[in-house]
């Protein structure tokens, strides 16, 4: 299977899993969660790598068996973890379809009103009441209060039927008022600050490779830093729970996103419960995909990401006891190399040194000889 296609499909699969987990109830929820973790572990790379500069913070994090998670807003790619949408087009589309949208809003308010009545009286269920209410509009192109009174009187009585007809009239008057349209358009313009996610999530970006020259140059201080090899083999509950937050990056075009369609979906799910059958081709799925999509110019990084909500993990250092190897940069000073070799020995992990081969045209990675470094 094409690796790029596989990664895109896996991101979609993970979106569906995350939403399914939200919709399920116990005990199915916990069983599903464990199966989801096992699936991620079975398909993610066994090893992932992080290039680091040599400094006290990075060394301390390594010793503490933690990893730095950061907000995307601080990254070097300003459009990373963003959603692309055309606000002008969305507002124009909403203006064109406004009557349909406001009628959906009206329906939402009316159903909430009828649901409240059913909850209070306990003499009729919402499904039956809705059936009789809808019958008032069959064969009619417009709103006629008298038809609602006629349709509902047999099941709720004349007084309540007239109250519901009046409520319907009031709601329709409110949503069809020009002022409502102006307020809704203004709210729509700022309702969905989608890209605020860059400041509400923290992520840890890793690579499938430890021998990418570009990453050594950019992220490991031009070879003066180091690279950590993480064996992604969860052994504790904390590590297993973290796995559902691990996803690859897909390199290609971000999906086009429609705010209008998102609004329509929100209205629909406000009028009825969202089900597992709904979790296909949602606008929310496009938003999720965009967070893990980057331009093809970045594809050499072969990136995977752990992404978690910032509110769930105060601070940026997260328990991350996966380190099993260290790769020392070819330009690292001997003093710093000695420090990391001792850290590697303390943690019981292998240490390698990056060096140019005899031709000076290729890098090799040699396991550190203890005697050579006088230990």
Q: Give CA–CA dist 374/228, Å, rounded.
A: 23
Q: What is the pTM of this model?
A: 0.73
DSSP state of 224: T
Question: Residue 94 above 80 pLDDT?
Answer: no
Q: Give CA–CA dist 74/205, Å, rounded.
A: 13
Q: Give CA–CA dist 98/176, Å, rounded.
A: 9
Q: What is the pLDDT of residue 1?
A: 47
Q: Give CA–CA dist 319/349, Å, rounded.
A: 17
Among 143-157, 232-246, 266-280, name the one with the lowest average pLDDT.
266-280
Question: Residue 286 above 80 pLDDT?
Answer: yes
Q: What is the pLDDT of residue 266?
A: 66
Give the rounded percent of residues in the chain with a pLDDT score beyond 90: 52
Q: Is 247 exposed, middle or buried (0-12, 13-18, 19+ CB in 10 A)?
A: buried
Q: In this predicted model, what pLDDT tens digit does every residue of 181-197 receive, in sequence order?
A: 676 666 555 545 555 66
Strand partners, 206: 304
Asked if 321 and 239 touch (Cβ cutoff 8 Å), the reply is: yes
pLDDT-based confidence at residue 258 (cuts at 50, 70, 90)? confident
Question: Residue 35 above 80 pLDDT?
Answer: yes
Average pLDDT, the chain: 85
Q: Where are the domains of the chain?
A: 3-82+195-367, 88-191
**SS3 readout for 45-80:** CCEEEEEECCCHHHHHHHHCCEEECECHHHCCCCCC
Strand partners, 68: 317
Q: Looking at the chain, which runs of residues are DSSP E strands? A: 47-52, 66-68, 84-85, 201-207, 226-231, 246-248, 250-251, 256-257, 293-294, 303-309, 317-319, 323-328, 350-356, 363-367
Strand partners, 205: 305
Output the DSSP codes for 283-321. Answer: HHHHHHHHHTEE-GGGGGG-EEEEEEEGGGS-SSEEE-T
Q: What is the pLDDT of residue 374?
A: 40
Among 4-8, 224-228, 231-235, name the one with the lowest average pLDDT.
4-8
DSSP state of 373: G
Maximum mean pLDDT: which of 9-23, 52-66, 301-315: 52-66
Q: Give CA–CA dist 128/114, Å, rounded.
A: 11
């Amino acid at each position: 299977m094409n690796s790029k296609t596989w990664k895109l499909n896996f991101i979609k699969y993970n979106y569906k899993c995350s939403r399914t987990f939200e919709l399920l109830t116990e005990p199915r929820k916990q069983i599903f969660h464990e199966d989801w973790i096992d699936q991620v572990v079975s398909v993610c790379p066994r090893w992932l790598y992080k290039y680091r500069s040599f400094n006290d913070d990075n060394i301390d994090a390594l010793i503490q068996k933690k990893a730095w998670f950061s907000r995307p807003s601080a990254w070097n790619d300003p459009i990373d973890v963003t959603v692309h949408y055309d606000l002008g087009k969305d507002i124009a589309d909403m203006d064109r379809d406004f009557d349909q949208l406001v009628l959906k809003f009206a329906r939402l308010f009316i159903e909430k009103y009828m649901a409240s009545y059913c909850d209070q009286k306990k003499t009729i269920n919402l499904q039956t009441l809705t059936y009789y209410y809808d019958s008032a509009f069959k064969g009619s192109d417009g709103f006629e209060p008298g038809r609602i009174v006629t349709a509902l009187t047999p099941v709720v009585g004349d007084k309540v039927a007239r109250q519901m007809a009046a409520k319907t009239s009031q709601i329709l008057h409110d949503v069809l008022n020009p002022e409502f349209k102006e307020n809704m358009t203004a709210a729509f313009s700022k309702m969905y600050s989608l890209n605020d996610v860059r400041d509400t999530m923290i992520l840890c970006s890793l690579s499938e490779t430890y021998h990418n020259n570009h990453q050594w140059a950019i992220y490991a201080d031009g070879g003066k830093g180091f690279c950590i090899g993480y064996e992604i083999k969860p052994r504790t509950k904390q590590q297993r729970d973290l796995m559902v937050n691990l996803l690859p990056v897909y390199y290609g075009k971000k999906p086009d996103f429609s705010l209008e369609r998102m609004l329509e979906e929100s209205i629909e799910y406000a009028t009825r419960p969202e089900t597992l059958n709904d979790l296909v081709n949602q606008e929310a799925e496009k938003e999720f995909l965009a967070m893990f999509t980057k331009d093809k110019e970045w594809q050499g990084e072969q990136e995977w990401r752990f992404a978690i909500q910032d509110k769930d993990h105060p601070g940026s250092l997260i328990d991350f006891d996966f380190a099993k190897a260290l790769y020392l940069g070819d330009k690292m000073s001997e003093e710093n190399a000695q420090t990391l070799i001792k850290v590697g020995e303390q943690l019981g992990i292998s240490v390698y040194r990056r060096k140019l081969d005899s031709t000076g045209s290729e890098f090799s990675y040699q396991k550190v000889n203890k005697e050579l470094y006088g230990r």
